[in-house]
Amino acid sequence: MLLIDKEGMVVNPRVHAARATSIERGQMKLVSGIIVHQTGGSTAQSSLSSYKNASANGAHFLIEKDGTIYQTASLSQQTWHVGKLKARCLLENRCTPVEIKALKTFSPTAENKREIAKQAPARFPANQDSIGIELVGEAQANGSYVAVTAAQNGSLKWLVAELSQTLGIAPTEVFRHPDVSRKNPTEASTAAW
């Protein structure tokens, strides 16, 4: 189990504090899941620098290509890392007739509004109730993301296991970003936990 201090920061030699309060967007009262992302930049430093901007989006953790884990936001704070939610019922083949009818008109904004009205796990974890983990790894010229390194996957596996055990997150509530929101389908496609 992880030790988490009163500020929501992990106290563990494997996790380096690099808190950027500029990406914290209000209190997170409940954690329902974990979302795994890949950055747009090729180094942790580029992400850490971007997190200093007042309008920056970011996640709670950042894992460098060498496996170094940085905690960039408090676990008691929301960050904007998910975007508009997809309908979870589609992934799980359990949409009601009413949901199917509503989904026939493509509107990510309307779909997100319907999903946010639900509670997790009826919907995917969202900004207000999920921990974001970024893996450093830029998109290539062809638009696909570079492969996650073995060191990153080792750190990701450890971090997801520790967070899940400490916060009571079920394995079914850990997702890649493109699963829950309309993002590049290759983002974090080689991530393993």
Residue 92 lies in a domain: no
List the structure tokens of 114: 């319907």
CA distances 102 to 76, 120, 144, Å, are 34, 20, 31
Mean pLDDT on 46-50: 95
- The predicted structure's pLDDT at residue 139: 87
Residue 138 sits in a domain whose CATH number is 3.40.80.10
Answer for the pair 87, 181: CB distance below 8 angstroms, yes or no.
no
Q: What is the pTM of this model?
A: 0.96
Domain count for the chain: 1
- The predicted structure's pLDDT at residue 35: 98
Mean pLDDT estimate for the chain: 96
Q: What percent of the chain has pLDDT over 70?
A: 100
Mean pLDDT on 26-34: 97
Residue 90 lies in a domain: no
Answer for the pair 72, 18: CB distance below 8 angstroms, yes or no.
yes
pLDDT digits (tens, 9 = 90+) for 136-163: 999 898 989 999 999 999 999 999 999 9
Residue 13 lies in a domain: yes
pLDDT digits (tens, 9 = 90+) for 160-187: 999 999 999 999 999 999 999 999 999 9
Which range marks the domain in which residue 135 is found? 3-84+124-180
**Which one, of 57, 46, 42, 32, lies nearest residue 124 by Cα?**
32
List the structure tokens of 38: 């890949």
Strand partners, 15: 69
